[in-house]
Amino acid sequence: MRLVVDSTRCQGYGQCVFAAPEVFRMPGDEALLYEPNPSDEQREKVLRAAAACPTRAIVLDHRADEAAIAQRRAATTAGVVERIVVVGASLAGLRAAYALRREGFGGSLTVIGDETHGPYDRVPLSKQVLAGWVPAQDTALPRSGGLDADWRLGQAAVGLDRRGKRVVLAGGDEVAYDRLLIATGVRARPWPNPDEAALTGVYTVRNRDDALGLRQRLAAEPRQVLVIGAGFIGSEVASNCRELGIPVTVVDHGPAPLAGALGAAVGRIAAEMQREAGVDLRCTTSVSALEGDAEGRLRRARLSDGTTLDVDVAVAALGAQRNVEWLQGAGLASGPWGVACDAGCRAFDANGVVTDDIFVAGDVARFPHPAYEYQFMALEHWGNAVDQAEIAAHNMVGTGPDRWAHVALPVFWSTQFGTEIKSIGVPTFADEIVVAQGSTAERRFVAVYGRQGRITAAVTFDQGMWLEHYGRLIAQAAPFPPQARTVDEPPSRHPVPAEIRQAPSFHATVVLTGHQPSERTAVLVPVG
């Protein structure tokens, strides 16, 4: 058995897992612990810890229980589902593959990935890898030979033939399937000017090679780093620069760091943290151009306010683009928003009809959540990828009445400038916010988000032990502002506007064809 433990939900109960020397772990209580070969004693400690507190123990390779697997296999769609293809050698793809075997699927399993690397964890790339604590190659997710899968790495999927039930690969090969899981994730949004993006010293941070290149450049102690974008990735990069003693300027067109995810009310607290750490933070500003020298090396940046910065490294932290281009023409409801699916991870086609043979999981999935008025949402969260992969795998081989719904509350975390920021729920769904516990001046507090009289999310700064409590309130549709008395209450708990910056919406252009019900259909028109 191999274990990955996500203790983002560890509420201050102390060290829950005893790690071997080769284990990779993050600082603080947001650790990911990889144990390749746990002893029986370690295994029992992990499972007891998982049962005793809200630690998330993820078993990558369960001990075989042949009788249970055979029983599940008999209850699955054996004979109908003999070939499953997973497109995306990602965290979600790997989790789904293991879950399929655990569910009793004994047929052909193929995992396709465009990178030559096997599945690896992206979380530490903007954290420990940039800080130099962990080599980029050590972020690989543990795998077991018992998975019995055909790995097609370095072979990008370029097309989907739904009628023929085949995935087309870049080299011309085709892989047949009975069930297909789309787990292609996202990629970093590049700097929009290709010539400027090609300058030596301009980086993005999304994959392992990105992080390796930027780490090597930071280790060379650049004179000045420019971070374009003050979301979570940009803020974590800036935090690492300051820890390394490197001067850094952060430029963002929004009113404050993290405003897009947490709202400007909390973002202003993040801005204070950055400035106190020595970051040259410039909000409501954008970068107009990046300029290089005769050798093609980055030398300066021109800002929208007319100023010029001398920089030799620029990190474009502009968000992500979903990897859906290979699905163009396949007739699925896919576009810049991702691939639309129901709460059971079954993909919708362009007509809004749910498919029974194509499923979606991870960052690329856009699904309705009952707790948020069934609004469709796409979540780029580690925990969401794991949870959704398990749901998709179960439903791919299960029967109708036995299918599960993905209704878990989103949880994510970030460590920056010595502070652990954790969230549960969807902050951007809210319109008001109240500090329910702690002190914003001391940067130790719980901010609770609300909409139309009920709690929708909570964000903690160095107060992660309260995350589970507020998760229960969200699940119960508890009233906002919170009514219950808690410890460490501030003098006033008066709600204020959350100042959520609305994310740009994606609208599909559709052409309707035909007149009879048998021929009337919707065709998506590609954007751009």
Residues in CB range of 76: below 8 A, 6 or more apart: 103, 104, 105, 397, 398, 399
pLDDT beyond 50 at 64: no
What's the confidence (pLDDT) of residue 76?
A: 55
The residue assigned the tokens 């009920």 is 454
Q: Is the peptide bond before 119 cis (omega within 30 degrees of 0)?
A: no
Which residue do the tokens 């599960």 mark?
Answer: 404
pLDDT digits (tens, 9 = 90+) for 475-485: 999 999 998 78
pLDDT of residue 72: 54
Tokens for 460, please give them: 């903690």
- The CA radius of gyration of the chain, in Å to the nearest whole number, is 23
pLDDT for 347 equals 98
pTM recorded for the entire structure: 0.87
| Average confidence score pLDDT of the chain | 86
- Which DSSP symbol is given to 146? G
The 10s digit of each residue's pLDDT in 78-104 is: 568 999 999 999 999 999 999 999 999
The DSSP letter of residue 36 is: S
- Residue 414 scores a pLDDT above 90: yes
Quick: pLDDT tens for 1-37. 344 444 333 333 233 333 332 333 344 444 444 555 5
417: left (phi over 0), alpha (psi -120 to 50) or beta: left
Measured CA distances, 352 to 193, 355, 466 (Å): 36, 9, 39
pLDDT computed for residue 528 by the predictor = 55
Give the separation between CA 251 and CA 317, rounded to whole angstroms. Answer: 10
